[in-house]
Structure 1
Amino acid sequence: MKKLLPTSTAGSLPKPSWLAEPEKLWSPWKLEGAELTSGKQDALLVTLQEQGNAGIDIVSDGEQTRQHFVTTFIENLSGVDFEKCKTVRIRNRYDANVPTVVGPVSRKKAVFVEDAKFLRQQTDQPIKWALPGPMTMVDTLYDDHYKSRKDLAWEFAIALNEEAKELEAAGMDIIQFDEPAFNVFFEEVNEWGIACLERAIEGLKCETAVHICYGYGIKANTDWKKTLGSEWRQYEETFPSLQKSNIDIISLECHNGRVPLEVLELIRGKKVMVGAIDVTAETIETPEEVAETLRGALKYVDADKLYPCTNCGMAPLSRDVARGKLNALRAGAEIVRNELAA
Structure 2
Amino acid sequence: MAISSVLGYPRIGAEREWKKALEAFWSGKLEEEEFHGKLKEIRLAHLRKQQAKGIDLIAVNDFSYYDHVLDTAVMFGIVPKRFEYEGGAVPLSVYYGMARGTKDAPACEMTKWFNTNYHYIVPELDGAEPALTGNKPLAAYREAKAELGIEGKPVLLGPLTFLKLSKGYSAADTDAWLERLLPLYAQVLRELEQEGVQWVQLDEPILATALTDEDVERLRKVCYTLAEAAPGLNLMLQTYFESVERYSDIVALPVKGIGLDFVHGSAGNVKSIEAHGFPADKVLGAGIVDGRGIWKSSLRDKAALLRKIGAYVPNDRLMVQSSCSLLHVPVTTEYETELPAQLKGALAFADEKLDELVLLTKAAVSGEASIASELKQCDDALHALESLEERVRADIRQEVAAVSQTNPERALPFAERHPIQQKQWQLPLFPTTTIGSFPQSADVRKARQLWRKGEWNDERYGAFIREQIDTWIRLQEEIGLDVLVHGEFERTDMVEFFGEKLAGFAFTKNGWVQSYGSRCVKPPVIYGDVAFREAMTVEETKYAQSRTQRPVKGMLTGPITIMNWSFVREDIPREQIAYQLAYALRQEVEALESAGIGMIQVDEPAVREGLPLKEKDQAEYLAWAVKAFRMTTCTVRDTTQIHTHMCYCEFHDMIASIEAMDADVISIETSRSHGELIHSFEENTYKMGIGLGVYDIHSPRVPRVEEMAAMIDRALRVLDPRLFWINPDCGLKTRGKEETVDSLRNMVEATRLAREKYSLMV
Alignment of structure 1 residues 1-342 onto 2, 5 Å: 2-20=427-445, 29-31=449-451, 32-33=456-457, 34-82=459-507, 97-144=522-569, 147-186=572-611, 187=618, 190-205=622-637, 206-214=640-648, 234-260=650-676, 261-265=678-682, 266=684, 268-342=686-760
Unaligned stretches of 5+ residues in structure 2: 1-425, 612-617
| Cα displacement (A) at 1:257 | 2.2
Aligned residues of 1:19 and 1:30 also touching (Cα < 8 A): no
Aligned residues of 1:127 and 1:174 also touching (Cα < 8 A): yes
Q: What are the superposed Cα offsets for residues 266-322 of structure 1, whole Å, 9 maximum, x if unpaired? A: 352110022112102222112221111111111121111001001001111110000
Mapped to 2, the partners of 1:95 and 1:14 lie a distance apart of 17
Aligned residues of 2:499 and 2:524 also touching (Cα < 8 A): no
Higher RCO structure (Cα 8 Å, ≥6 apart): 1
| Cα displacement (A) at 1:244 | 3.1
SS of 2:565's partner is coil
Higher helix fraction: Structure 1 or Structure 2? Answer: 2
Residues matched between the structures, number: 318
Match for 1:242: what amino acid? I
Mapped to 2, the partners of 1:89 and 1:339 lie a distance apart of 43
- Classify 1:36/1:306 alpha carbon distance in 2 versus 1 (closer, same or farther; 3 Å): same
Mapped to 2, the partners of 1:85 and 1:155 lie a distance apart of 26
Aligned residues of 1:60 and 1:128 also touching (Cα < 8 A): yes
Q: RMSD of the TM alignment (CA)? A: 2.5
Mapped to 2, the partners of 1:192 and 1:258 lie a distance apart of 31
- In the alignment, which residue of structure 1 is the partner of 2:422? none
SS of 2:668's partner is strand
Mapped to 1, the partners of 2:449 and 2:432 lie a distance apart of 29
Mapped to 2, the partners of 1:74 and 1:341 lie a distance apart of 44
Mapped to 2, the partners of 1:339 and 1:171 lie a distance apart of 35
Q: What are the superposed Cα offsets for residues 229-264 of structure 1, whole Å, 9 maximum, x if unpaired? A: xxx7x1112211222332211110122424421213
Aligned residues of 1:59 and 1:126 also touching (Cα < 8 A): yes
- Classify 1:237/1:30 alpha carbon distance in 2 versus 1 (closer, same or farther; 3 Å): farther
Q: What are the superposed Cα offsets for residues 166-211 of structure 1, whole Å, 9 maximum, x if unpaired? A: 1122222321122221231232651311110000102112111220
Aligned residues of 2:491 and 2:497 also touching (Cα < 8 A): yes
Match for 2:642: what amino acid? T
SS of 1:131's partner is strand
Length-normalised TM-score, structure 1: 0.85
Mapped to 2, the partners of 1:270 and 1:314 lie a distance apart of 25
| Cα displacement (A) at 1:89 | 8.6
Aligned residues of 2:557 and 2:603 also touching (Cα < 8 A): yes
Which of the two has higher C-alpha Rg? 2
Mapped to 1, the partners of 2:506 and 2:543 lie a distance apart of 30
Length-normalised TM-score, structure 2: 0.40
Mapped to 2, the partners of 1:95 and 1:41 lie a distance apart of 27
- Classify 1:315/1:243 alpha carbon distance in 2 versus 1 (closer, same or farther; 3 Å): same
- In the alignment, which residue of structure 1 is the partner of 2:115? none
Mapped to 2, the partners of 1:161 and 1:146 lie a distance apart of 24
Mapped to 1, the partners of 2:553 and 2:652 lie a distance apart of 26
Aligned residues of 1:86 and 1:142 also touching (Cα < 8 A): no
Aligned residues of 1:90 and 1:140 also touching (Cα < 8 A): no
Per mean C-alpha deviation after superposition, the further-off stretch among 104-113 and 136-145 is 136-145
SS of 1:124's partner is coil
